[in-house]
């Protein structure tokens, strides 16, 4: 007899857990020694970590998390073959917040500025959730910066979220409306409910992306399977990997599957 799989945590739940873990992580890791670096991009400071040696691999984290948080179960395997670059986006991880709403376009522009300053050459990119959206946006606008991409749990519009996820977001945004000092969670919920926009990313934009892309998701993801398939079909050079019995947290829940699959994909010429 097989037991039914546990219910998958929602995108909002994962973000809240990540924020709690980050609060503890700051206390444990803020020693001034280690892989952390600071750089100025677009008028503000941005924190990023570098680890390992070899071809450059850019890691783009999920919403409300950090590079070190989203990919904690990938670092050991990935650093054996790659030089990792893992930035924390605006207001997330160790990167300070800036005034105004959160924006995928602003985060993409910060990521481009980081790569333009570091000049690592064309990088492979692995993006999880929000990071997957950023990876696709980056590659569409600056294909010169990218060699191969892996995206997991990405969506091209809020319509890609499951009905349950959308209902939770609408409720959370309605409750937060009118707060004079919105939390990071409030701002993330607003971002997810209204973005990405067609101007930021769309099937038509993906159709012009001439890069190999591995599209991943869990079969119980917060992004609908139909939407993931639409992303896969829009890309000229895409491969598809659907993980069975898996929710949105593919990298944290299934490292024994995703790590070798990703390394094999990135190891191709």
Per-residue pLDDT of 236-264, as tens digits, reads 999 999 999 999 999 999 999 999 999 99
| Of residues 57, 77, 52, the one with CA closest to residue 257 | 77
d(CA 256, CA 33): 30
CA dihedral 70, 71, 73, 74 (to 10 degrees): 160
What the block records as the tokens of 229 is 């398939």
16-61 tens-digit pLDDT? 554 444 433 333 333 334 589 999 999 999 999 999 999 999 999 9
Transcribe 74-115 into DSSP letters. THHHHHTT-EEEEEPPTTSTTSPP-SS---HHHHHHHHHHHH
192-241 tens-digit pLDDT? 999 999 999 999 999 999 999 999 999 999 999 999 999 999 999 999 99
Q: Is 190 left (phi over 0), alpha (psi -120 to 50) or beta?
A: alpha
d(CA 81, CA 78): 6
pLDDT tier for residue 178 given thresholds of 50, 70 and 90:
confident
Q: Which homologous superfamily is 34-266 in?
A: Alpha/Beta hydrolase fold, catalytic domain (3.40.50.1820)
d(CA 266, CA 28): 32
| Cβ within 8 Å of residue 139, ≥6 positions away | 125, 145, 146, 149, 209, 211, 213
pLDDT tier for residue 148 given thresholds of 50, 70 and 90:
very high
- What is residue 10's predicted lDDT score, i.e. its pLDDT? 60
In three-state secondary structure terms, 148 is strand
- What is residue 14's predicted lDDT score, i.e. its pLDDT? 58
- What is residue 187's predicted lDDT score, i.e. its pLDDT? 94
Percent share of the chain, pLDDT over 90: 84
> Taking the CB of residue 163, how many other CB atoms lie within 10 A of it?
8
pLDDT tier for residue 100 given thresholds of 50, 70 and 90:
confident
Burial classification of residue 209, based on how many CB atoms lie within 10 Å of its CB (0-12 exposed, 13-18 middle, 19 or more buried): buried
As beta bridge partners, residue 47 has 38
More confident residue, 6 or 74: 74
Residue range 93-118: average pLDDT?
A: 96
d(CA 108, CA 114): 10
């Amino acid at each position: 007899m097989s037991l039914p799989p546990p219910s998958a945590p929602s995108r909002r739940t994962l973000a809240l857990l990540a924020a709690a873990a980050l609060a503890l992580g700051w206390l444990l890791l803020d020693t001034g020694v280690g892989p952390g670096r600071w750089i100025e991009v677009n008028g503000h400071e941005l924190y990023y970590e570098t680890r390992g040696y070899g071809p450059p691999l850019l890691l783009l984290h999920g919403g409300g998390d950090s590079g070190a948080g989203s990919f904690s179960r990938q670092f050991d395997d990935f650093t054996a073959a790659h030089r990792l670059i893992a930035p924390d986006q605006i207001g997330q991880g160790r990167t300070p917040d800036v005034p105004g709403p959160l924006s995928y376009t602003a985060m993409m522009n910060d990521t481009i500025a980081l790569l333009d300053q570091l000049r690592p050459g064309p990088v492979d990119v692995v993006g999880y959730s929000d990071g997957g959206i950023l990876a696709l946006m980056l590659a569409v606008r600056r294909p010169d910066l990218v060699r191969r991409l892996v995206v997991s749990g990405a969506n091209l519009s809020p319509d890609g979220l499951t009905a349950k996820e959308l209902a939770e977001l609408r409720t959370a945004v309605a409750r937060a409306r009118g707060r004079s000092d919105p939390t990071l969670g409030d701002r993330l919920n607003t971002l997810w409910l209204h973005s990405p926009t067609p101007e930021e990313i769309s099937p038509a934009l993906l159709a012009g992306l001439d890069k190999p892309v591995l599209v991943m998701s869990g079969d119980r993801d917060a992004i609908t399977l139909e939407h993931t398939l639409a992303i896969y079909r829009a890309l000229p050079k895409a491969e598809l990997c659907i993980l069975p019995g898996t929710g949105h947290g593919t990298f944290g829940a299934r490292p024994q599957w995703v790590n070798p699959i990703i390394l094999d994909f990135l190891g191709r010429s």
